[in-house]
Every structure is written in C-alpha cells, then in structure tokens.
Structure 1
Amino acid sequence: MRRWHKAAALAALATMLGLPAQAQILVGQTAGFSGIVAAGVKETADGAQLYLDMVNARGGVNGQKIEVISLDDKFDPKLAAENARKLIEEHNVTALFLTRGTPHNEAIVPLLDKHGVPLVGPSTGAMVLHKPVRKHVFNVRATYQREAEKVVSHLASMGITRIGVVLADDSFGADGLAGAQRGLEQAKLQPVVLEKFDRAKPNFAPIAAKVVQSQTQAVLMLASGSAVVDGYAAFRNAGSTAQIVTLSNNASSGFAKSLGANARGVIVTQVFPNERSSHYPLVREAHDLAKAKGQEISPAMLEGYTAAKVLVEGLRRAGPKPTREKVQVALESLQKFDLGGLEITYGPDDHTGLDFADLSIIGTDGKFRR
C-alpha cells in the first residue's frame, strides 16, 4: 500500500496521546504501481500529488486534508476489483481516483454502483466509460477512440496508405481499434496488417514477419508500456522501418526512456496541452509546482494534475462534511469549470470530460515534441 500522506499514522498517534485527530478526507486509488504500466502510473500519481500537496499545505478542503490511499493491482483486473472493494468497504473512501486500465475500470464499475462511490479521472480513455453514461464515473481525459481516429487521419493526410494496427487482445485494444477503423474508413483505406496479441504473453515474432512482408509504412500499436517497447523492437529486428504510433496511455517520460535507441520519431497521441505550452495557466501552475520540487512535468504528470483539480473542486463543493452522495451531486454541478485554459462540464447525462486530442513525436532528447 502506498499512502501519499501519513495522516492515518498521525491520527493513530494522536488517539494514543489523547489528542484530537486531524480531520481528513480519504480517497482511494488502485493502479499498476508495478508491472508493465508502472512508469506511467508513477508519473500520473506524482502529477496529482503536486496539486494535492499544495491544497493540503494551504489547509486542505474546507479545513480537511486529503489523503489518497493507493494500492498496487499489478495491472491485473481481478486484483484491481479486489483493491477497489477494500478501499470502498474497509477504508470507507469518499471517492476513487485515477484508477488505471480499461478492463480494470470495467471490473470496478459494479462496486461503484453498489456503494454509490464517485470515480474521478479514471486513467483510461475507454468509450465504455463514456457511452452509455456511467452514473458514478467522471471522466477527465478524452477517449482512445478520438485519439486513434485522429492519428490515422493524420497519417493518411501525409500520404501514408499502408497502415497496420497491432493491438492487445482485450477491451482496451478493441476500443482503440474502433477509432482507428473510423479513421481508416474516412481515408478510404483498409489496414494492411491487423493483428491481436495476448496481453499476458505477447509473441511479436510472427506479427513482425507480417509487418515486413506487407511493407507496412506505419503501425498503430494499441497496447501498454513494455508491450509496445517489445513489439517495436521485434519489428525493427525483423527489418521493418515502419513509423510507430501509440496512444496517450504511453505518454510518460518513463515510456520514452524504455524505448532506448528506438525512441526517436515515435508518435504518441496526447490528451492534454504540451507540457511546455506556458500560455495555458494549467501548464504554468503544474510547471511551477514541479520546479519547486526539482521535478519536470511530463504528459502523464499533467493528466494526474488535471484530474486532481477536478477531484478537489468536487470535494470543495460538497461542503465541510463531504459524503459520497454529496460529492456525486457536486461533480454534476460543474459547468464550464476553468481548469486553467481548459473548461470541463458535467451533468447527470454527461460525464464525458475534456475532448482535447493532439499528436506528439519523441525527439532525439527523449522528450515529447508537438
């Protein structure tokens, strides 16, 4: 278990000493702090921590500090569901936050509905969390389908016609594929390669052979972390020079580093402004807080930071004694809430969040360039 603050230990000590315990708001998170998405999860959590630490340093929300209890689910959907159950039933969290993964969040939704727990900023762009509207899910980032459609349209506009799609055989891969197919249809193209792989035990050698044989010019990889790294290496080792493209679930500095010598030129879609776009107040705020801690903002950190702003606003509007139900109502009251150059709006029939989508390319320095 990872706690972003030591409030629980301090509360226990206060009780032993007969002192009044400090009021706190408990928020729960389950994500793959170990495993193939660990680098991105850590950066997203670090970005959220930047904002929450600032809020807590200023006295918290309505006089209460926010404590996030983070459990490692090792990117396993079954463990994610069990972690969510513990957080909801045993830790009695007011809300869940930044849960990572498409099948993982799908496994959590029944628990949200059973206990009336709002989930803010799931770290996935799965359409299944947008349509139909999930009562207790408040999305912040844009959908994977929008990203995939945009990147395929971009490739086609550059004259690239031999496009392949390689995806994890799970709900995340299927979701991204739906967007990619829309982009291909609009460009009047068919994928020259369309291959699925086992997320738990990927074997890229036969796929690499098909990529080479089909003379694929660009491969959209709908997968997470090390799977993209290993797939890309397999394609290159087989002799392919295809442009590699992946989605924003891999928009972390850790992912870029893990690519090593293959990083340069990889296209990664983004669902937040460039982390160097200082004309966005959101980016300036995050940059200044990170600089004070000797850190550098990455796209994944900006996602966590933005989600934390939405969470805090929901808690603030819920009043001095926030309950799950009050936070739910408060979040649905957000209308054109300014996050710092980006506005977010919710309502009982709209939990979509932002619709921002852009493209970036990894430069020779390993950083994302727009």
Structure 2
Amino acid sequence: MRLRSVAIALCCGLGLTAGAWAQIKIGQTAGFSGPVAAGVKETTDGAKLYLNSVNAAGGINGQSIELISLDDKFEPPLAAENAKKLIEQGVLALFLNRGTPHSQAILPLLAEHKLALVAPSTGAMLLHKPVNPYVFNVRATYQREAERAIQHLVGMGVSRIALAQVDDSFGADAATGALKGLQVAKLQAVAHLVFPRVKPDLVPLMAQLAKADVQALLFIGSGDTVVEGIQALRAAGSNAQVATLSNNASAGFVKRLDKLGRGVIVSQVFPSERSLNTPMIREAHELAKAAGLAELTPSNLEGFAAAKVLVAGLRKAGKDLSRASLVRALDGLGKYDLGGLELQFSSTDHTGLDYADLAIIGPDGKFWR
C-alpha cells in the first residue's frame, strides 16, 4: 500500500494523466478563518454548487471532481505552505485562493510544478500583466473597480474624497486605480491613509478623517477591518459616504455591519444576484434552490463562475487529463460564454472578465443596483 501511494505521488508530481487516481483533485487554500472567512465561505459554496451538479451528471469523463480546501487563516506564508502540500498530494490545479500577497506567495510554485491557478479570488493587476502562463483570472481587476468607484463618487458631486488602504500589495494595487480616477477628475485625495494588515489601529485614523470633514471615503481592506473602520468613523461623528471593493461583496460583511451597513457602496464584478434575465444567474438560482440554499450572494456568484471556467478547461483538456493538458486547454479556451457573460483566454490574455459595477447596501441588508 505504501509503495502504491508513493507511485501515485510520483505520477502526480510529474504531471501524468489523471487515470492514476479515482477523482480529479483540485486544491484550494484560502482564509476559512480570520478576517475574510465570510467571503471565502460564500465563494467556495458558490463553486461547490456548480461542481456538485457536474459530479451528479457523471463528472468529467466519468471522474468526479474533488475540491480539497485548506485554511490559510489569510496569512501569506501559510497560503504558500498549503499550496505546496496540495501540490504534493497530486492536485491537478490550484483554484479560488484568496488574497493578493497570498497569490504572490504561490506564484513560484506554479512555475516550479507547471500547474494552473484558476480563478484567484483577487483583482490584483500583477496577476494580469504581464501575462502569467499559469494564472487564469475570471474576475475584473481591483484597479478597474477602484477607478469606477471614484468616478461614481465624483458623479454624485463629491469632491472631498479620502482613501484608506491596507499596507500590502492589495492595498497598493487598488489605490493605484483610485488615484487614477482622481487624476482623471482633476482632484486630489483630501487624505490618503495607510494602515497595517495585522492589528490595525483604526480609531485615530478615522478620527483624523472626521476632523478633515471628508465627504466620502474609499476604504480598501479586508472585511473585518473595513467593518471596524466604519464603526470607528461613525463613532468619530463622520457621516461620510463609504465605498469599498468587491472583496467585501458578501452577506457576511453586510451582517457584521448591521445597521451601519445601510448606504455603504460596494463594487461588484458580476451582475446582480437577482438578475434572472442573465442565464448564468438563472442557472445558479436553479441549482441553489435544488440544494436548499435560501439565497445567492455576489460572492456565491464569483465562486460559481470560477467553477464554470475550471470545468470548461477540464472538458477541453480531453481524456488524457494532466496538469500540462489543463494549462494548454485553458490557454486555448478562446471565447467562452459563462451564460450571458463572455470570457476569453489566449496565450496573450488571461484577464477573464472586465465587468465592474456598483451596488449600495439597502435597508433590507441586500445589495441594491
């Protein structure tokens, strides 16, 4: 038995065909605990909706898809450690990881083992340009989202806009888009605050913004941090309009905000979860209903779309499924209709979708478009 396990591990490590194992193993490392846990659970649940439906219909060439998920607690070093463990276990690809610095930590492993990272749950520009041959994005970039949010605030007649960003690659990346939006509007940020990713002290920073009498704040950070920041901002007496990015487009984020959530703008990278005229949304609703899921969230849809792209690649790779054949299949996927949303991959473009919109949290705790 031990020799057989070693043989399978060797085959997987060499990227040989999937016949060596009973299931198609896909690996995921993400913060199932920690500050992004709510969003991670929702994206993963959305992915499982589609993957379970594929397995129920016979899988891929008779093989079921097994998603192996490890908790990295939203810590980049642990994300890299988990990814290495998953690769050693023989996963065919990595999938739906969470976080920009976390993705950076994984990138060297992709090149070393020549396997795909499909649908990283981050809009980091570094995953888009230059094109990484092993990274296949599904969602729009954070820079696109942040610029769109600034355009919206300016369109509302707001001119005194502040930025607050986490001090990691995610924060710097998104802030680049926001500053571009301000530049186009011929404005400068009233304040541009940077806070640490670990144990940020937001109370004095939010008091500073309240004293500056800002009209709007674009808050770039993880869910729990943004919630704490909004609480501190309101406690400091500021009624500034708050906007944040799609990494916080989850029901868990809204629930944590409670009454303070009303009126907060959250950018979106997919059509409304209630847009049943979009075939992909309608399909997700039908599967959710069959699975007993009460409602869909934007994060559910991100996971659902990610799973559709993964499965499209697996099917295109054919019967001789391997790490290499999956990379080739995704690279040559061309135009792929997710269901009212068209994605396109080629050897020179792994961007995926460029959809960016805005929603506001309504009094019912739902995202209004």
Q: TM-score, normalised by structure 1?
A: 0.93
Partner of 1:56: 55
Q: Distance in 2 between matches of 1:22 and 1:28?
A: 15
Q: Assess if the C-alpha contact under 8 Å between 2:164 and 2:217 holds in 1.
A: yes
What whole-Å deviation, never above 9, does each CA across 1:54-111 have from its counterpart, x for those lacking one? 000000011110001000000000000000000012x110000000000000000000
Q: Distance in 2 between matches of 1:115 and 1:247?
A: 32
Q: Distance in 1 between matches of 2:275 and 2:358?
A: 14
SS at match of 1:287: helix
Q: Distance in 2 between matches of 1:21 and 1:186?
A: 55
Give the one of 166, 184, 195 matched to 2:164.
166
Give the one of 174, 177, 180 matched to 2:178.
180
Aligned amino acid, residue 177 of structure 1: A
Q: Distance in 1 between matches of 2:181 and 2:82?
A: 37
Q: When the two structures are aligned, how many residues end up with a matched partner? A: 351
SS at match of 1:325: helix
Displacement after TM superposition at 1:127 (Å) = 0.3
Partner of 1:284: 282
Cα gap change, 1:102/1:21 in structure 2, threshold over 3 Å: closer, same or farther?
A: closer
Q: Assess if the C-alpha contact under 8 Å between 2:25 and 2:68 holds in 1.
A: yes
SS at match of 2:28: strand
Partner of 1:7: none
Displacement after TM superposition at 1:293 (Å) = 1.9
Q: Assess if the C-alpha contact under 8 Å between 2:207 and 2:232 holds in 1.
A: no
What whole-Å deviation, never above 9, does each CA across 1:23-76 have from its counterpart, x for those lacking one? 310000000000000000000000000000000000001111000100000000
Partner of 1:149: 147
Is 1:194 the counterpart of 2:188 in the alignment?
A: no
Q: Distance in 2 between matches of 1:317 and 1:166?
A: 43
What whole-Å deviation, never above 9, does each CA across 1:141-172 have from its counterpart, x for those lacking one? 00000000001011001110000000101000
Q: Distance in 2 between matches of 1:68 and 1:112?
A: 18
Displacement after TM superposition at 1:208 (Å) = 1.2
Partner of 1:6: none
What whole-Å deviation, never above 9, does each CA across 1:279-307 have from its counterpart, x for those lacking one? 11000000111112221110000000000
After TM superposition, list the pairs within 5 Å mapping 1:1-370 onto structure 2: 23-89=22-88, 91-295=89-293, 296-370=295-369
Q: TM-score, normalised by structure 2?
A: 0.94
Aligned amino acid, residue 323 of structure 2: R
Aligned-pair RMSD on alpha carbons?
1.3
Gaps of 5+ in 1: 1-19
Displacement after TM superposition at 1:22 (Å) = 7.7
Partner of 2:5: none
Q: Assess if the C-alpha contact under 8 Å between 1:361 and 1:368 holds in 2.
A: yes
SS at match of 1:36: coil
Q: Distance in 1 between matches of 2:20 and 2:119?
A: 29
Q: Assess if the C-alpha contact under 8 Å between 2:34 and 2:73 holds in 1.
A: yes
SS at match of 1:211: helix
Displacement after TM superposition at 1:321 (Å) = 2.9
Aligned amino acid, residue 116 of structure 1: K
Aligned amino acid, residue 76 of structure 1: E
Aligned amino acid, residue 229 of structure 1: V
Q: Distance in 1 between matches of 2:22 and 2:60?
A: 10
Q: Assess if the C-alpha contact under 8 Å between 2:278 and 2:339 holds in 1.
A: yes
Identity of aligned residues (%): 62
Q: Assess if the C-alpha contact under 8 Å between 1:63 and 1:320 holds in 2.
A: no
Q: Assess if the C-alpha contact under 8 Å between 1:36 and 1:224 holds in 2.
A: yes
Q: Assess if the C-alpha contact under 8 Å between 1:334 and 1:344 holds in 2.
A: no
Gaps of 5+ in 2: 1-18
Q: Distance in 1 between matches of 2:275 and 2:86?
A: 36
Q: Distance in 1 between matches of 2:277 and 2:118?
A: 26
Q: Distance in 1 between matches of 2:200 and 2:368?
A: 29
Q: Distance in 2 between matches of 1:345 and 1:334?
A: 7
